[in-house]
Amino acid sequence: MVRTSTMVLNGNLTVQMNQTIRQNGKQRKNGHVNGEKQTNFPTAKGMSCRQYSPESEQAPEQAPMYVAVLTYLGFGIVTLFGYFRDFLRAVGLEKCHLAQEREEQKEFVPMYQDFENFYTRNLYMRVRDNWNRPICSLPGPAFDLMERVSDDYNWTFRLTGKTIENVINMGSYNYLGFAENNEDFLKTVADKTLQYGVGVCSSRQEVGNLSSHEELERLVADFLGVESAMTFGMGFATNSMNIPALVSKGCLILSDELNHTSLILGARLSGASIRVFKHNNMHSLEKMLREAVCSGQPRTHRPWKKILIMVEGIYSMEGSVARLPEIVALKKKYKAYLYLDEAHSIGAVGPTGRGVTELFRLNPADVDVMMGTFTKSFGAAGGYIAGNKVNQPVRSSAVS
Ligand SMILES: Cc1ncc(COP(=O)(O)O)c(C=O)c1O
């Protein structure tokens, strides 16, 4: 079986990934074809500067009209059925498997709102078996699943003890193949775990600072070509917990409409004002920048303390690449700051995997805050914030 996926990013950045999952009787799993380690994995590293054209539109492909109409129609029908089944449950004609308020807790604020759970109860439950499948091999391009069945229409599952082998992994990122079975990585991990243990039981600011943290931070900063970096145990928290260290009330965040939820949460927690510009649309961004600089803060018209543009390098769901050269030019023109989330681009694009700055041959110093995660290309966990002037604010107020 041959999977050929062509990522048409903006018409021009075209990545051909011919993933031969099973070809000529060969089986690929966990980085091995018939037991032999393969090193030439198709990865997004195939993207190169030559293939990218900055003039091209960085917009995701639109679904054809009939697909959009049928999708909305499908949602409409199952939503109507959902209301009907909720009615049957309310009058006791259908058994309700939901978690419900306990009698003795009736006086408290309700934990389960009927309407809030509508989607989960009536739409997601129908197809729940397609997600959260337990796996029992390494997450390579193909892996093994633990077979499970439901006796009550997906409310609960039980494992049968059997294994479903060699299914295509469409659920995890492993751009460089580091999450696979490689004895060198495993030995390093085992040695370091024996030397340092599995946790430090304290925050970095107290007694949880290890020499290996500092080594990692130096390595990240050198790799990115910036002054310093700080690393964290979780990518999501790197965004959500550190954006408040950089901006606060009186600052303005200009956020791409397709930004990841961790960026959105960080922006909301910061207390800064947030305005959302159209995805990768430079006209929309410039209009907002101009408006922000000319009018300042609402009512008082005082200038914003800081204006922070927040974008991703490669957008995880759409695959579009940020129009970084134009964003950098705008940020310089309007004297704003730039926060770049490279969760999906670091390690994956640029001739040496240094992300979108390298892809566009930009100076890393043009990006004020570089953020990335170790969960995708690096096959590990955690995230970093790096840059030339971010060390001090992030380090002194980081909570994780
Ligand atoms: C753009 C972006 N930023 C941040 C994160 C959070 O990273 P993590 O999964 O390592 O917590 C993700 C996760 O997918 C992401 O796509």
Query: What pLDDT, on a 0 to 100 scale, did the predictor assign at position 62?
Result: 80
Query: What pLDDT, on a 0 to 100 scale, did the predictor assign at position 36?
Result: 45
Query: What pLDDT, on a 0 to 100 scale, did the predictor assign at position 202?
Result: 87
Query: What pLDDT, on a 0 to 100 scale, did the predictor assign at position 13?
Result: 35
Residue with more model confidence, 268 or 174: 268
Rounded Cα distance between 34 and 20, Å, is 13
Query: What pLDDT, on a 0 to 100 scale, did the predictor assign at position 17?
Result: 36
**Across residues 22-42, what is the average pLDDT?**
40
Does ligand 1 come within 6 angstroms of the Cβ of 265?
no
Taking alpha carbons only, the member of 259, 351, 373 closest to residue 52 is: 351
Does ligand 1 come within 6 angstroms of the Cβ of 259?
no
pLDDT at 145 over 80: yes
Largest Cα span, the chain: 71
What is the 3-class SS of 286-328, one letter each residue?
A: HHHHHHHHHHCCCCCCCCCCCEEEEEECECCCCCCECCHHHHH
Q: Which atom of ligand 1 is nearest to the CA of 312?
A: 1
Region of poorest pLDDT, from 92-101, 286-295, 332-341: 92-101
* CB contact at 8 A, 270 and 310: no
pLDDT at 212 over 50: yes
Query: What pLDDT, on a 0 to 100 scale, did the predictor assign at position 55?
Result: 47
**Across residues 290-306, what is the average pLDDT?**
96
Give the tens place of pLDDT for each residue, 60-81.
678 899 999 999 999 999 999 9
Query: What pLDDT, on a 0 to 100 scale, did the predictor assign at position 82?
Result: 93
CA of 375 to the centre of ligand 1 (A): 8
Query: What pLDDT, on a 0 to 100 scale, did the predictor assign at position 58?
Result: 54
Q: HSE of 388 in the Cβ direction (CA atoms, 13 Å)?
A: 10
Q: Calculate what percentage of the chain has a pLDDT beyond 90.
A: 56
Rounded Cα distance between 60 and 56, Å, is 12
Residue 149: both structure tokens together: 């069945």
Rounded Cα distance between 295 and 301, Å, is 6
Active site residue 316: yes
pLDDT at 45 over 60: no
Tell me which amino acid residue 203 is.
S
Region of poorest pLDDT, from 77-81, 84-88, 181-185: 181-185
Residue 45: both structure tokens together: 């590293």
Residue with more model confidence, 88 or 178: 88
Query: What pLDDT, on a 0 to 100 scale, did the predictor assign at position 216?
Result: 95
* Ligand 1 atom 4: residue of nearest CA: 236
Rounded Cα distance between 158 and 129, Å, is 11
pLDDT at 104 over 90: no
pLDDT at 24 over 70: no
* The model's pTM: 0.77
Rounded Cα distance between 347 and 345, Å, is 6
| Residue 20's pLDDT band (cuts 50, 70, 90) | very low
**Across residues 222-237, what is the average pLDDT?**
94
Does ligand 1 come within 6 angstroms of the Cβ of 266?
no
Q: Calculate what percentage of the chain has a pLDDT beyond 70.
A: 84
Quick count: other Cβ atoms within 10 Å of Cβ 7?
Answer: 15
Cα 83 to chain centroid distance, Å, stands at 33
pLDDT at 334 over 90: yes
Query: What pLDDT, on a 0 to 100 scale, did the predictor assign at position 47?
Result: 44
Query: What pLDDT, on a 0 to 100 scale, did the predictor assign at position 312?
Result: 97
Catalytic one among 45, 260, 331, 344? 344
Which range of 16-20, 99-103, 134-138, 215-219 scores highest in mean pLDDT? It is 215-219
Residue with more model confidence, 368 or 209: 368
Query: What pLDDT, on a 0 to 100 scale, did the predictor assign at position 60?
Result: 64
State the average pLDDT for the chain: 84
Does ligand 1 come within 6 angstroms of the Cβ of 235?
yes
Residue 272: both structure tokens together: 């800064």
Query: What pLDDT, on a 0 to 100 scale, did the predictor assign at position 400?
Result: 55
* Ligand 1 atom 3: residue of nearest CA: 343
Give the C-alpha distances (Å, rounded to integers) separating 126 from 79, 122, 153, 336.
12, 7, 7, 47
* CB contact at 8 A, 10 and 58: yes
pLDDT at 306 over 80: yes
CA of 196 to the centre of ligand 1 (A): 26
Domain ranges across the chain: 2-52, 65-127, 199-397
Q: Which atom of ligand 1 is nearest to the CA of 239?
A: 4
199-397 belongs to which CATH class? alpha beta
pLDDT at 23 over 60: no
Our CA angle for 317, 323, 327, nearest 5°, is: 125
**Across residues 95-110, what is the average pLDDT?**
80
